[in-house]
């Protein structure tokens, strides 16, 4: 059930992020075309593109985590006996959860501050909580994924004769 719902959420997020990337490319193309033909130049397009890329990076990292497509250097772990693998995987998940939850919490506090200040971007006038909330959402999502998949990952270590599978 969690797997199916998670896959649907991640698929929707990936499609929205892909559309965002296409939008950023089209905006950049139109702006470059306008600048070099002398017809127009839209101020703030660069800010919008950067904010789209921030969302792609941070929310995309949660999608990568859900799909277990992140890079892993686990040659050392694979060479260890099963009890050691369990300990390493447990420590890895605990550290990953602690770091992502900490960054998410700090990011949330920062977003709350800039919402209270009413901060906007210099040129486009975009509320700054919008790009900064991507960090908060991305890291909290990764922390939730680590919690949801933590026990499952330990079970996989036991079931596959000690091999660590994402």
pLDDT digits (tens, 9 = 90+) for 77-116: 888 898 898 898 899 999 999 999 999 999 999 999 999 9
Residue recorded with tokens 């922390």: 143
User: pLDDT tens digits, residue range 14-34?
Assistant: 999 999 999 999 999 998 898
* Residues 6+ away with beta carbon under 8 Å from 62: 10, 13, 137, 138, 141, 142, 145
Secondary-structure breakdown of the chain: helix, strand, coil percentages, each rounded to the nearest 5: 80, 0, 20
Q: What's the whole-model pTM score? A: 0.84
Token digits for 66?
A: 């859900």
CA–CA distance, 65 with 5 (Å, rounded to integer): 15
């Amino acid at each position: 059930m969690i797997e199916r719902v998670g896959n649907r959420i991640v698929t929707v997020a990936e499609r929205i992020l892909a559309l965002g990337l296409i939008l950023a490319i089209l905006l950049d193309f139109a702006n470059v075309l306008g600048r070099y033909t002398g017809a127009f130049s839209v101020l703030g397009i660069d800010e919008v593109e950067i904010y789209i890329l921030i969302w792609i990076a941070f929310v995309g990292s949660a999608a990568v985590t859900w799909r277990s497509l992140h890079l892993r250097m686990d040659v050392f772990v694979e060479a260890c006996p099963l009890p050691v693998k369990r300990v390493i995987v447990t420590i890895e998940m605990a550290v990953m959860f602690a770091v992502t939850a900490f960054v998410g919490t700090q990011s949330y506090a920062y977003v709350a501050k800039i919402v209270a200040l009413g901060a906007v971007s210099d040129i486009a006038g975009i509320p700054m909580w919008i790009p900064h909330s991507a960090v908060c959402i991305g890291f909290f999502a990764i922390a939730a994924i680590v919690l949801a998949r933590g026990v499952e990952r330990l079970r996989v270590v036991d079931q596959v004769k000690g091999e660590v599978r994402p």
